[in-house]
Structure 1
Amino acid sequence: MILSCQNINKAFHEKQVFKNCSFHIEDHEKAAIVGINGAGKTTLLRIIVGELEADSGQVVFGKDTSYGYLAQNAETDSEHTIYDELLEVKKDVILLEEKIRSCELEMRHVEGDALTALMEQYALYTHQFEQADGYSYKSEITGVLKGLGFTEEEFSKQASTLSGGQKTRVALGKLLLRKPDLIILDEPTNHLDMSSIAWLENYLLNYKGAVLIVSHDRYFLDKIASKIIEIDGAAVSVFSGNYSDYAVKKEQLRTARWNAYMNQQQEIKHQEAVIEKLRSFNREKSIRRAESREKMLQKIDVLEKPTETRADMRMELTPRIMSGNDVMQVEGLAKAFGSEKLFANLSFALKRGEHVAIIGDNGTGKTTILKIINGLVEQDAGEIKLGSKVHIGYYDQEHHVLHPDKTLFEEISDEYPTLTNTEIRNVLAAFLFTGDDVFKQIKMLSGGERGRVSLAKLMLSEANFLILDEPTNHLDIMSKEILEDAINSYSGTVLYVSHDRYFINRTASRILELENGSFTGYLGNYDYYLEKKAENTLSAPETDGAFPPAAGGSREGNPSSSAASSLKQDWQSQKEALAAQRKKENALKRCESEIERLEKRSMEIDEEMTHPDVCINVAKLQELAREKEQIEENLLLQMEEWESLSD
């Protein structure tokens, strides 16, 4: 065992953050802490590393265990260059190297016993140097810096001149090079692009020590974590497996707890009704029986009502009108800022109902493309044609669509003057703004709160073409899942930029990768993109996707007609598979609805049989018994069909 947390309690004022929090981390284990924003994830990390004191409980590290902690916005600020800053971590190795060189020089001038002693010292230094991977430390530093997204030209930049995100990456690099027994990371992917996150995943997967992570990046957690530690309503639970395993188990537990709660509540109400009826008879015997039942009811250990899954935010995206089949055609798009050329001759098309994700490294121009489409930035060349009846809804990651001096209420009422005060409050309440919150000024809100206001406006827009720039930034996992469900059920067209691979995996039907100033298209979600990208590493790249691009729209070289035909077949196969899946899901829903109806009728019969007028009616009782028997048979058939459909 490398870390043990035992019965940790922490409260701020009267709010209990967690109660009796207990878990442990084994050697080489990769664990993640998850929970909604404000659940106490960072607080728990700070208690573990000693930055914050728990109200009670203890944190115990294994004997001689070393750990390294990277806070959420940790920065390295010095006059050293980026390379020298990481070189500082290897000062012990550098000192050994200097001692070895010194010994080599001295050996030229001594002999006899002095030489023998010096050679023994030299052998010791050399062994220690080899143990510390001294011969590869320079290449290791270079590999870490490149993996975290720094180019060799940037190695000589002073750390003090870097942006906040770059400083955090430097701090992360230093921590990784220290190689502690336990790495503790708080949101390590916040300032990394996709390629850097993929590199970090691979690094941590192969890391010989243990890792404890707080992250909202579910794809990252799926790749890294083998244990999930959940903080939910002050309770801490441990689940084995990655994030997807946890999500399945969590839903199963939530369903079981909800059913147990509802069954108990139903039994309590039934007993209360019986007690009330017995008292109403106003006879000594019936009153005694009522009191007996009352005592039994008081002994019941009443279950707490489970928190409803994702009940914190409600979102539904519905277009007011349907657009034409051709939503947008982009031809020959080009943009440069001064001498920095972002892209040239980009061409692609969007059809109604497509959900298309634009991906690529930071600085390649993804957000610029969205701004050009929305008329916020002017292109250097190219043309953008919108189809008939296209109504755009735009989500800007910098939230420039919001007015900083307006209140939340004014932001909605000014944009949608036909809404009543009650309707405006209801909309804001659906996005967690209640009471006096609606009179806060936009400029006083956090990034996550501004994101929720922008999503509220997006929902009200009733647009049939959504353009989203990093929509999941600042959202916790539950809010991301709500947005994903809203997009997946949205019948309009979506074009978005995102670094959230889990979000892309769940919502994209096509991916456009922006690399070296041009697009490469992949027909499918993020997993499909990774698979095809690996296959195409040594072969010609694909076309833009389901629809043939204009000349010059993708990378150099045009695919063969057979490749294009293959892509169309892939697309058709996907459509048929989705249609079959929807048909099965609809059948499953009908089956579940019928089971629910039959169970409800069975309960009604049980209740009806207890009625005084039915109890003495033999013919009626036989009729109800026959109906219940038929219901039980039908239930068995429906459950078998449900099991088959579920498989």
Structure 2
Amino acid sequence: MVADYLKHKQGFIVVSHDRHFVDQVIDHVLSIDRAKIQLFAGNYETWAAEFERENQSELEEKQHLQKEIGRLKSSANQIERWAGNAEGQKNQSAKSDQHANLDKGFIGHKAAKVMKRSKNTLRRTEKDIEQKQSLLKNVDEVAPLKLNYQRPHQNYLLQVHDLRVQRNGLVLNEPLSFNLKRDQRLILFGPNGLGKTTIIKAIMGDKRLMAGGTITMPSSIHISYLTQSFEVLQGSIQHYAQQFGIELNDLLNTLRKLGFERSAFTEDLSDLSMGQKRKVSLARSLCEKANLYIWDEPLNYLDVITRKQIQDLILKNQPAMLIIDHDKDFIEAVKTAPLLAIQPADTK
């Protein structure tokens, strides 16, 4: 509805992380990152292609700079050795020439010239190293995310038959049935208010929400559950890692790969922005050992770059998942079966 309205308007700015939506309504992209602000003509796809091209170019430049820095450091080490050898030869000559009729002044002068020349060259080399390292800081290479997925041996991970859920005594949906097998990714889909999140909570064990039907899963299955509204986030990130039994370093490394600022590591989790809180919860889920991931709107508050990171990670690892989300491009990319459409309960 909003997209249809904006298609007939001109001269507006829209801020959104929904790729499908923005592709319908924009003709320019104002891209803001840590280093610069750029304006691109076109839609999201145009920007994404240019962003990828620039990233590849910057990565190649970074690799070139790293090789140059390595070569210069090797040269600097060699120059220092030459200077040291010149001083050593001067001292050795002074001792051995006690019984020889040689011009010690000449030898000392020659060694001094070699040392001076070497030190001048070393200073120039160190300056070149410093200059290239300053350029290197502007190139940000993102390490790939990792998923602690443990592929299960069971074929059926979740079986749902004629499930109906309720809220405040009111049945929300028509009976829902599906089987989730190993390596499958199923999407619960439907308008807000039909009980998608309530269905997830029932699957996760809250039987009070069930108005009928059955839910069956192997008792040995380990589930990583990402809630829509976040679990209670407060206290230190160290305590949060301990609470979920994951290694602190793994959590911090994953957060850095998601673009989380190091300065936020020391903040109380309750003081973080919504986007930062989502990344903390998401990083925790990625670090947990799991046979099945149940994610309720995992992309909420996440920028398009992070969304693409998550999408690529899923496609690479092919985990078993049950997902609720509204990002059409993400859904189409990761699903392995038709959408599980939730139908409203017949109130007649």
TM class by shorter-chain length?
A: 0.7 to 0.9
- Kept in 1, the 8 Å contact 2:160–2:178? The answer is yes
1:133-212 correspondence to structure 2 within 5 Å = 199-207=1-9, 209-212=10-13
Q: CA deviation at 1:322?
A: 1.3
Q: CA separation of 1:431/1:285 partners in 2, compared to 1, >3 Å: closer, same or farther? A: closer
Q: CA deviation at 1:308?
A: 2.3
The aligned counterpart of 1:308 is 140
- The answer as to 2:294 corresponding to 1:463 is no
Q: CA deviation at 1:277?
A: 4.0
Q: CA separation of 1:447/1:478 partners in 2, compared to 1, >3 Å: closer, same or farther? A: same
Q: CA deviation at 1:373?
A: 0.5
**Structure 2 Cα separation of the partners of residues 275 and 460 of structure 1:** 42
Candidates 197, 200, 223, aligned match of 2:24: 223
Q: CA deviation at 1:363?
A: 0.8
The aligned counterpart of 1:353 is 183
- Kept in 1, the 8 Å contact 2:251–2:284? The answer is no
Q: What is the total number of aligned residue pairs between the two structures? A: 310
- Kept in 2, the 8 Å contact 1:322–1:389? The answer is no
Deviations 1:31-64 (A, max 9, x none): xxxxxxxxxxxxxxxxxxxxxxxxxxxxxxxxxx
The aligned counterpart of 1:412 is 241
Per the alignment, in what secondary structure is the counterpart of residue 213 of structure 1? coil
How big is the alpha-carbon RMSD for the aligned residues of Structure 1 and Structure 2? 3.4
1:569-588 correspondence to structure 2 within 5 Å = none
Q: CA separation of 1:297/1:411 partners in 2, compared to 1, >3 Å: closer, same or farther? A: closer
**Structure 1 Cα separation of the partners of residues 22 and 115 of structure 2:** 60
Per the alignment, in what secondary structure is the counterpart of residue 398 of structure 1? coil
Letter in 2 for 1:413: Q
Deviations 1:438-488 (A, max 9, x none): 665544443233323322332343111111111111222233223223322
- Kept in 2, the 8 Å contact 1:331–1:346? The answer is yes
Letter in 2 for 1:345: P
Q: CA separation of 1:213/1:272 partners in 2, compared to 1, >3 Å: closer, same or farther? A: same
**Structure 2 Cα separation of the partners of residues 396 and 486 of structure 1:** 19
Q: CA separation of 1:291/1:451 partners in 2, compared to 1, >3 Å: closer, same or farther? A: same
**Structure 1 Cα separation of the partners of residues 19 and 326 of structure 2:** 12
Q: CA deviation at 1:324?
A: 0.8
Q: CA separation of 1:310/1:205 partners in 2, compared to 1, >3 Å: closer, same or farther? A: farther
Q: CA deviation at 1:495?
A: 0.4
Letter in 1 for 2:3: E
**Structure 2 Cα separation of the partners of residues 373 and 263 of structure 1:** 52
- Kept in 2, the 8 Å contact 1:278–1:286? The answer is no
Q: CA separation of 1:257/1:449 partners in 2, compared to 1, >3 Å: closer, same or farther? A: closer
**Structure 2 Cα separation of the partners of residues 277 and 338 of structure 1:** 78
The aligned counterpart of 1:499 is 326
Deviations 1:389-424 (A, max 9, x none): 422221111123x3x5554322321332xx6xxx42
Which ranges in structure 1 are unaligned for 5 or more consecutive residues?
1-198, 519-647
- The answer as to 2:275 corresponding to 1:474 is no
- Kept in 1, the 8 Å contact 2:157–2:182? The answer is yes
Per the alignment, in what secondary structure is the counterpart of residue 229 of structure 1? strand
Q: CA deviation at 1:259?
A: 1.9
TM-score by length of 1: 0.43
Per the alignment, in what secondary structure is the counterpart of residue 410 of structure 1? helix
1:286-301 correspondence to structure 2 within 5 Å = none
Letter in 1 for 2:254: A
Which ranges in structure 2 are unaligned for 5 or more consecutive residues?
87-109
The aligned counterpart of 1:514 is 342
**Structure 2 Cα separation of the partners of residues 407 and 276 of structure 1:** 44
Q: CA deviation at 1:266?
A: 2.7
**Structure 1 Cα separation of the partners of residues 183 and 43 of structure 2:** 32
Q: CA separation of 1:270/1:353 partners in 2, compared to 1, >3 Å: closer, same or farther? A: same
Q: CA deviation at 1:331?
A: 0.9
- Kept in 1, the 8 Å contact 2:149–2:290? The answer is yes
**Structure 2 Cα separation of the partners of residues 460 and 262 of structure 1:** 29
Q: Which moved more, 1:442-451 or 1:253-262?
A: 442-451
Q: CA separation of 1:296/1:478 partners in 2, compared to 1, >3 Å: closer, same or farther? A: same
The aligned counterpart of 1:328 is 158
- The answer as to 2:120 corresponding to 1:319 is no
**Structure 2 Cα separation of the partners of residues 435 and 298 of structure 1:** 29
1:329-408 correspondence to structure 2 within 5 Å = 329-337=159-167, 340-376=170-206, 377-387=208-218, 389-400=220-231, 402=232, 406-408=235-237
**Structure 2 Cα separation of the partners of residues 379 and 263 of structure 1:** 60
**Structure 2 Cα separation of the partners of residues 316 and 292 of structure 1:** 45
Per the alignment, in what secondary structure is the counterpart of residue 431 of structure 1? helix
Letter in 2 for 1:503: F
Q: CA deviation at 1:507?
A: 1.9
